[in-house]
Amino acid sequence: MGGSYYTHNGGGSNHLCMPLDPIYNKTVNGNQGYSYVYGIEYEMNAHASLFPKNLHDHEAVCAVCFAESRGSQVMIPARNVCPKGWTREYNGYLMSAHISHKRSQFICVDGAPEARQGTQANKNDGLLYVVEGHCGALPCLPYIQGAELTCAVCTK
């Protein structure tokens, strides 16, 4: 998985599924200093108990949903089930950048996430944190202040 550095003001705000076999065309030697893609790692120390294994500081990997007969896909935050008539591809926890870092997309990370093999170097490039609800304009109840939000990816 790739994205912007957690403290950079510019660059992209979305996370990217980076291929393992990039193909280059023309290149210019060295860094030009305009925009970069960094690896993304899990920051889960406080939330390690939510997942089957502790992936803190491991580099995140992507999953791409392909449902040949289902043309619509939606990520539903704060729910771990799909509406009637939809197929759940996976469910887990909502994750994004830290509130004190630069913004990123909210993404749904599988409840049994994977990491790139052999990684746990704490490089702190791009970072993913579990998202909690914060009451205010988001109403308590039904939401709970500080509760970790689930998510589901559904197709139809």
Cβ contacts of residue 73 below 8 Å, gap of 6+?
Answer: 65, 67, 89, 153, 154, 155
Does the pLDDT at position 126 exceed 80? yes
Task: Select from 62, 39, 18, 67 the least CA-distant residue to 126.
Answer: 39
* Average pLDDT of span 138-146: 86
Q: For residue range 12-31, list pLDDT tens digits in order.
A: 788 877 777 777 778 788 87
In DSSP terms, 30 is beta-bridged to: none
d(CA 58, CA 41): 5
Q: Is 49 helix (H, G, I), strand (E, B) or coil?
A: helix
Which of the residue ranges 13-17, 35-39, 98-102, 151-155 has the most confident prediction, judged by mean pLDDT? 151-155
Residue 53, pLDDT score: 84
What is the predicted pLDDT for the residue at 15?
81
- Work out the average pLDDT over 30-43: 81
pLDDT digits (tens, 9 = 90+) for 53-76: 888 888 888 877 667 777 888 889
Task: Assign 151 a pLDDT band (cuts: 50, 70, 90).
Answer: very high
Domain spans, the chain:
1-155
